Structure 1
């Protein structure tokens, strides 16, 4: 199982939100590239980046910070937030991003996901963010009637590289991930599932790994708070 350290970007700074609320942001640093380098030095295999402003604006906002991270690091990075058309997908991949994460458009324009996955094999993931099983879009500001499991299944034949499943009520709350829901989703589809939201301890990571069904986990606040030591966690997961 791959551990993805998260760098959430708001106004050019590294932050963490509580349950996706922009007015409940804790700033952890004003040099995202330096943070990315620290994660790389600890041994991470991937970076998970989120343009929080972009998720609300519907277009890239923290582009300069993302580009600084891509310039400073050599490990592959995936990015979500504000990526809603083919031109933006092509732009980010041309700048060296390894994978784009499509969230809102997966609900509103699923054909774009399919077209992008065909055009860029292995470089398109779908972000499914849910409250009580129902998908939320536009930076989690709008809730839909779409079930997370139904949305995931609809992309089974699309060739997407991964599903990133976030339980919004757990995100940033340090309350542990929703393992039953994430495991159920991972077993229901053939697409690799990456868990996000609430990963707050080494025990959480080991529990996700030990399901045998979940291919990755994203952690943010726990790494910044020191609740998870990244280097130690990476070693433990390999063991």
Structure 2
């Protein structure tokens, strides 16, 4: 399993939210590129980036810090938040991003996901953010009637590289991931699934490793910044 350290960008800074609430943010680093370099120096082989302002605006907002991260590190990075048209997808991939994450458009314009996955094989992921099993869009501000697992299954033949599944009620809360729901979704599709939301200890990583589903990886944010999750030990556990 791959550990994807999360760098969530708000107003140019690396922050963490609680339950996706923009009013409940904690700034952990005012130099996101430096934060990215420290993760890479510790041995991380991927980076998970989120443009929080972009998710609400529907277009990239934190482009400058993302570009600084891409220029300052030599590991692949995936980015979500405000990527809702082909031009934006092409622009990010041309700047060296390894993978774009499409969330809101996966619900509102699934044809775009399919078009992008065909045009850029291996470089398009779907972000499924769920609250009580229902998909939330537009920076988690709107909860739809769409079932998270059904949405994942609808892209089974689209050629997407991965699904990032986030349980919003666990995100940033340091209360552990929704292992059961994550495993159920991963077992329902053949697309690689990355777990996100609530991972706060080595025990959480062990639970995900033994959840009965072949997860591609796990995203962790606040626990790494707070020191609740030792990065070196986490990387070793997932590599074993």
TM-score category by the smaller chain? over 0.9
Gaps spanning 5+ residues in structure 2: where?
none
User: Scaled by the length of structure 2, what TM-score is found?
Assistant: 0.99
Query: What SS does the corresponding residue of 1:194 show, helix, strand or coil?
Result: strand
Aligned pair 1:216/2:217, yes or no?
Answer: yes
Mapped to 2, the partners of 1:6 and 1:141 lie a distance apart of 20
Moved more, 98-107 or 204-213: 204-213
Q: Deviations over 1:157-192 (max 9, x none)?
A: 000000000000000000000000000000010001
2:86 corresponds in structure 1 to 86
Mapped to 2, the partners of 1:192 and 1:5 lie a distance apart of 18
1:114 corresponds in structure 2 to 114
Moved more, 3-12 or 212-221: 212-221
Q: Displacement of 1:214 after TM fit?
A: 1.4
Cα RMSD for the two superposed structures:
0.6
Mapped to 1, the partners of 2:239 and 2:192 lie a distance apart of 18
Contact 1:209 1:215 in 2 (8 A): no
1:166 corresponds in structure 2 to 166
Q: Deviations over 1:34-75 (max 9, x none)?
A: 000000000001000000000000000000000000000000
Gaps spanning 5+ residues in structure 1: where?
none
Contact 1:2 1:215 in 2 (8 A): yes
Q: How does 1:86-165 map to 2 (within 5 A)?
A: 86-165=86-165
Mapped to 2, the partners of 1:196 and 1:45 lie a distance apart of 17
1:228 corresponds in structure 2 to 229
Number of residue equivalences: 239
Query: What SS does the corresponding residue of 1:169 show, helix, strand or coil?
Result: coil
Q: Deviations over 1:102-124 (max 9, x none)?
A: 00000000000000000000000
Q: How does 1:56-71 map to 2 (within 5 A)?
A: 56-71=56-71
